[in-house]
C-alpha cells in the first residue's frame, strides 16, 4: 500500500496518476506516453500558474485535493486486488 503524502506540484500529480494507471492495468506507461504526459503536464503547470497569478484561484489546494483523490483511489484498488487474491487463494485451497 502507498504511504499518503501531500501532493503539491503538477509533476507529483502526474506521477500519482501514473501509479494509479499501473495499479489498475498491471502494466506500466510506455516511454512515449510518459513523455507526452510530461509535456502536457508542463503546459498545464504553466497555464495553472498563470491562472493563479492573475486571479484569486488557489491552485495548490486544487492540486492537493485531486492528488488526495488519486492516491486514495490507488489505495482502494490495492486493497481490492489484495482481497481478491486472498479470496481466490482461499477458494482454491478449499476446493
Quick: pLDDT tens for 43-92. 888 888 888 888 887 888 888 899 999 999 999 998 988 877 666 666 55
Report the distance separating Cα 65 and Cα 13, nearest Å.
Answer: 10
Return the residue matching grid coordinates 484569486: 56
Nearest to 44 by CA among 74, 75, 12: 12
Rounded average pLDDT over 28-47: 88
Please state the pTM of the whole predicted model: 0.67
Report the distance separating Cα 10 and Cα 22, nearest Å.
Answer: 18
Quick one: cell of 78?
Answer: 490495492
Amino acid at each position: 500500500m502507498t504511504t499518503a503524502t501531500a501532493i503539491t506540484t503538477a509533476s507529483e500529480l502526474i506521477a500519482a496518476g501514473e501509479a494509479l494507471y499501473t495499479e489498475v492495468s498491471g502494466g506500466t506507461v510506455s516511454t512515449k506516453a510518459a513523455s507526452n504526459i510530461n509535456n502536457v503536464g508542463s503546459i498545464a503547470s504553466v497555464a495553472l500558474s498563470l491562472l493563479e497569478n492573475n486571479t484569486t484561484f488557489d491552485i495548490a489546494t486544487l492540486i492537493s485535493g485531486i492528488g488526495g483523490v488519486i492516491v486514495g483511489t490507488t489505495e482502494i484498488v490495492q486493497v481490492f486486488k489484495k482481497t481478491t487474491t486472498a479470496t481466490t487463494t482461499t477458494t482454491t485451497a478449499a476446493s
